[in-house]
Amino acid sequence: MKADLDRWMQESQIDVIFVVGAAQHNPAMVYFTGRVHVSQAEFIKVVGKEPILYYASAMEREEAAKSGLLTQSVDIYQPRRLLEEAKGDAILARALRYQRMLQDSGIQKGRIAIYGMSEVGLAYSVFSKLCQLMPEIEIVSEAEHSVLGQVRLTKDKHEIQQIQRMGEITTEVVGLTADFLSAQKVRNGVLIKQNDEPLRIGEVKRQINLWLAERGAENPHGTVFAMGRDAAIPHSAGDDQMILEVGKTIVFDIFPCQEQGGYYYDFTRTWCLGYAPDDVQKLYEDVRTVYQTVVKALQVNGQCSSYQKLACDLFEGLGHPTIQSNPSTEEGYVHSLGHGVGLQIHERPWFGANATEQDILSVGSVFTIEPGLYYPNQNMGVRLEDTYTVKDDGSIQPLVEFPFDLVLPLKHS
């Protein structure tokens, strides 16, 4: 959690955290600033000191202040004079500004971890130049297991509230979608709209986006609404042109975030329109059984990878192929059991092949549990997913509850 930042910086011998980019759609920056209309910024946190947010446009002064951080306009470094000093070399001018910002924070040397969703070519050039200007600094190579990744691995109460609120919005929209589908007319096994035309997946997705927008949510990665054979391909988003048919299986995976790129929620249900064929019902029960068994086994401080192993063992016990026994299988259980959720839709902790010993369930962890079974040659796929958290008392609970019905009744069939 954020409160542990100084401790993690000390343990990792990181002297400075330096974040670049906008304060929207930029997880590392939004983590510190919140979602504010600051389009170009630098955030500098020196170990043991209060951080500073530098904003580039004087017009964004009030928005920067909304972050609650100490703020400072970059104008105090007179960017235009720096550009002259750099003989028009914009990269050198920016590196000179970074040098002065660091020096004003008392940094002449040390280990600097850089972060931010931004243009990589520009950042590479500027930080390379900065290293030439300040030979005693070192840009630390940080990948997954970075200080910031470590801090973001568990969420504080304020973060969990925001994720939970996104969960309420998400499940409300899922409920509206169920009601909307249930209310359609049916003719020759096809859902029919008021205007007598068949209903298509693209229209359902458009409606989902409207309901999300009404509730102040964004849907930057789109929605999985995959029917029939597409439901059997885990990451197929579904075919917008496809007509909704009775008895077909739909995997509905929805993962919106707060407006301007904030916290996400991740949720999946599998539905059959009107009735469920026997083989789908059987597949569904297997997934539901594994889901329930895994959730019961979850424990604070448990290794995430152990639950992936448990899910594989359980699916194999039910006679399904898994990636544990055959890493290249495209049938059966083919993906990882879950992942962390926060300012990114997929973040640590990891449950699958890339999980390490540090990927455990801790107080403040927020993560999905999403077992699934896929049989592309039988046009069948089932996945169930909720987002869970580990509470202060060590108990593990879904952030929002939602019914698990497979069959979506059609009122006019």
Residues that bind a second copy (CB under 8 A): 20-21, 24-25, 28, 37, 39, 57, 59-60, 62, 80, 90-91, 113-125, 127-129, 139, 141-144, 146, 206, 209-210, 213-214, 216, 218, 220-222, 233-237, 259-261, 353
Q: At its nearest, how many Å lie between a second copy and the CB of residue 289?
A: 25
Q: What pairing do the DSSP bridges indicate for beta strands 110-115 and 137-139?
A: parallel
Q: At its nearest, how many Å lie between a second copy and the CB of residue 362?
A: 22
Measured from the CB atom, the residue of 42 and 159 that comes closer to a second copy is: 42
Measured from the CB atom, the residue of 239 and 405 that comes closer to a second copy is: 239
Q: Which amino acid is at 68?
A: G
Opening angle at CA 404, ends 401 and 407, nearest 5? 145
Q: At its nearest, how many Å lie between a second copy and the CB of residue 10?
A: 19
Tokens standing for residue 327: 């890493």
Q: At its nearest, how many Å lie between a second copy and the CB of residue 396?
A: 28
Q: At its nearest, how many Å lie between a second copy and the CB of residue 252?
A: 16
Measured from the CB atom, the residue of 78 and 397 that comes closer to a second copy is: 78
HEC string for 339-378: EECCCCCCEEEECCCCCCCCCECCCCCEEEECCEEEEHHH
Measured from the CB atom, the residue of 96 and 406 that comes closer to a second copy is: 96
Q: At its nearest, how many Å lie between a second copy and the CB of residue 118?
A: 5
Closest CA to 266 of 366, 144, 380, 396: 366
Measured from the CB atom, the residue of 91 and 243 that comes closer to a second copy is: 91
Give the CA distances from residue 322 to residues 80, 109, 255, 295, 393, in Å, rounded to whole numbers and listed in that order: 60, 51, 25, 19, 34
Scored b (16 or more CB within 10 A) or e, 173-208 reads bbebbbebbbebebeeebbbeeeeebbbbeebbeeb
Measured from the CB atom, the residue of 123 and 246 that comes closer to a second copy is: 123
Q: At its nearest, how many Å lie between a second copy and the CB of residue 114?
A: 4
Measured from the CB atom, the residue of 115 and 351 that comes closer to a second copy is: 115
Q: At its nearest, how many Å lie between a second copy and the CB of residue 316?
A: 22
- Angle at which helix 120-133 crosses helix 90-104, to 10 degrees, equals 60
Q: At its nearest, how many Å lie between a second copy and the CB of residue 270?
A: 18
Q: How many CB atoms lie within 10 A of CB 393?
A: 7
- First vs last C-alpha separation in the chain: 51
Q: If you count them, how many residues does the chain have? A: 413
- Give the SS3 label for residue 264: strand
Q: At its nearest, how many Å lie between a second copy and the CB of residue 277?
A: 25
Q: Could you give the CA distance from residue 102 to residue 85 in angstroms, rounded to a whole number?
A: 18
Q: At its nearest, how many Å lie between a second copy and the CB of residue 24?
A: 7
Phi, psi (deg, nearest 5) at residue 96? -60, -40
Contact status, residue 90 vs residue 83, Cβ threshold 8 Å: yes
Measured from the CB atom, the residue of 146 and 270 that comes closer to a second copy is: 146
Measured from the CB atom, the residue of 160 and 370 that comes closer to a second copy is: 370
- Angle at which helix 157-182 crosses helix 201-214, to 10 degrees, equals 140
Contact status, residue 42 vs residue 20, Cβ threshold 8 Å: yes
Q: How many CB atoms lie within 10 A of CB 227?
A: 24
Strand order in the sheet with 347-350: 347-350, 339-340, 366-369, 386-390, 396-398
Measured from the CB atom, the residue of 113 and 311 that comes closer to a second copy is: 113
Q: Could you give the CA distance from residue 208 to residue 238 in angstroms, rounded to a whole number?
A: 14
Measured from the CB atom, the residue of 237 and 243 that comes closer to a second copy is: 237
- Give the SS3 label for residue 332: strand
